[in-house]
Amino acid sequence: MARRVPVQTRIGFTILAWAIALLLFSPILWTIVTAFKTEAEAIASPPTFLPQTFTLENFGAVQDRSDYIKHATNSIIVSFGSTLLGLLIAIPAAWSMAFAPTKRTKDILMWMLSTKMMPAVGVLIPIYLIFRDLRLLDTLHGLTLIMTLINLPIIIWMLYTYFKEIPVDILEAARMDGAELWNEITHVLVPMAVPGIASTLLLNVILAWNEAFWTITLTSGRSGTLTAFISSFSSPQGLFLAKLSAASLLAIAPILLLGWFSQKQLVRGLTFGAVK
């Protein structure tokens, strides 16, 4: 029987949750309102919250200075391409670790996770030299490759966690029915783990979309993503806050919409196997 929670406690936790949510959302909200201000009003002191002069000229100036469509297309190709490539590698890897473990499986998982603890700048020089020699600098396939590599440990870890919650008996029954390994993975395992795979895909698309260090370092103009698009509005001449906010809003709008419409699937996948 579930414990009854007093009404005052529920109200208190609700207010606390809304306060934390508003605190976390406040930088995005400030970016949104600043994008519709003039440059003079954006740097005014004391600052004003709502625009005194509502304007859309910042968005026109942003598009005139940089090709938003091209950068957005590059971001879509890199984020979804790297995630799909990572899933193709991670699903068999997670299957082997979850259903055919060895005494070294946990060590391998910890080693993969430890690679995320290294600062990216620590491997910048060798990665840059390798990309230069292989002519992968400022290319979409090179950027997709590096995004796959840096997010692969997270993809494998998440899928491994989901696969561990699937009963082994179901896979053994499929083998007894004559299913080969490929059919076992594609027709039995993957359909059962769709919520986990979907949440893994969404989370890693967001991570790849927001990646700034490698996209700025390994690209220039031809293959730049939206993070490079935003950074172009920080110049030695100064910060143009209104235009920078407009560029940031254009960059985060697609991923915000994706997260908003897929939040139920994302939450369901992230809590997959958490409650038994």
Residue 201 to residue 82: CA distance in whole angstroms: 10
In a domain, 99, yes or no: yes
In a domain, 181, yes or no: yes
Supply the range of the domain harboring residue 99.
67-233
The pLDDT value recorded for residue 235 is 63
In a domain, 153, yes or no: yes
Question: What one-character-per-residue DSSP string does 45-80 give?
Answer: SS--SS-SS---HHHHHHHHHS-HHHHHHHHHHHHH
CATH number of the CATH domain containing 198: 1.10.3720.10
Residue type, 68: Y
**pLDDT digit string (tens) for the chain, length 276 residues:** 456 778 888 889 999 999 999 999 899 899 999 999 888 888 888 888 888 888 888 888 888 888 888 999 999 999 999 999 999 999 999 999 998 888 899 899 899 888 888 888 889 999 999 999 999 999 999 999 999 999 999 999 989 988 888 888 888 888 888 888 888 888 888 888 888 888 889 889 989 999 989 998 998 778 888 888 888 776 655 567 888 888 889 888 888 888 787 777 667 666 655 544
In a domain, 246, yes or no: no
Instruction: Calculate the CA 28 to chain-centre distance.
Output: 17
In a domain, 26, yes or no: no
Residue 110 to residue 115: CA distance in whole angstroms: 9
Other Cβ atoms within 10 Å of 72 Cβ, number: 17
Task: Say what the pTM is.
Answer: 0.83
The pLDDT value recorded for residue 275 is 45
In a domain, 170, yes or no: yes
Domain count, the chain: 1
Question: What one-character-per-residue DSSP string does 158-227 give?
Answer: HHHHHHHTS-HHHHHHHHHTT--HHHIIIIIIHHHTHHHHHHHHHHHHHHHHH--HHHHHH--SSS--HH
In a domain, 52, yes or no: no
The pLDDT value recorded for residue 237 is 58
Residue 178 to residue 261: CA distance in whole angstroms: 40
In a domain, 37, yes or no: no
Of 119, 76, 81, 66, the C-alpha closest to 228 is 66
